[in-house]
Amino acid sequence: MSIENKELLRAWEILFTDFIESGDNHTTVTTFKVTFPDGKIKDVKVIFKRAFVDDYLHIEGGQDRSKILKQKKGLFKTWGLTKIKESIDKNSLQEDVFEITDFKKDSGWAEKIEKRYLQQSKRQQDINTYYYTPKRKIGFK
């Protein structure tokens, strides 16, 4: 018989707040406001370094980078949301900044998430507030 942690049974609210392309430090950032089951609120950023973004999206020098990034806003939002959900499952969201930096290290993860994103309806992609309940159980068998 397992004992379930009651806090884990309540949903976390994850609100997508912004998508920023920063030319100054060559990053793309998604920001979220996360409300814990106990009511605590945390601002979370997921930072995508230019090297990763350009390699993953095959952006070359002559292309309109801003236009490409705006077209992929929903994908960046989904990547950010997934990072937050993974952190909730792993350690109850102890971090408040995540970085996606290395194409070799992160491209497999990003591609897997993108495949799920492409299967979503347009309506699902436009949602900005998500509720997430971890599937973990704590206790003994």
Cα angle, residue 80 at apex, residues 37 and 115 outer, rounded to 5°: 115
Instruction: Please name which of 90, 92, 107 lies closest in space to residue 48, comparing C-alpha atoms.
Output: 107
Domain boundaries, position 111: 15-130
Evaluate whether residue 10 is within a structural domain: no
Listed residue (68, 72, 94) closest to 83, CA to CA: 94
Q: Check residue 122 and give its pLDDT.
A: 65
List per-residue pLDDT tens for the chain, 141 residues long. 344 444 445 789 999 999 999 876 789 999 999 999 999 999 999 999 999 999 999 998 888 989 999 999 999 999 999 999 999 999 889 999 999 999 999 999 999 999 988 887 666 667 899 999 987 655 544
pLDDT of the residue at 114:
93
- Does any domain span residue 8? no
Look at the chain and report how many structural domains it folds into. Answer: 1
Establish if 54 belongs to a structural domain: yes
Q: Which amino acid is at 21?
A: E
pLDDT at site 100: 95
In a domain? residue 6? no
* pTM of the predicted model as reported, rounded to 2 decimal places: 0.84
Type of residue at 53: V
Distance CA 103, CA 51 (A): 7
Q: Is residue 137 part of a domain?
A: no
* Residue-level pLDDT at 84: 96
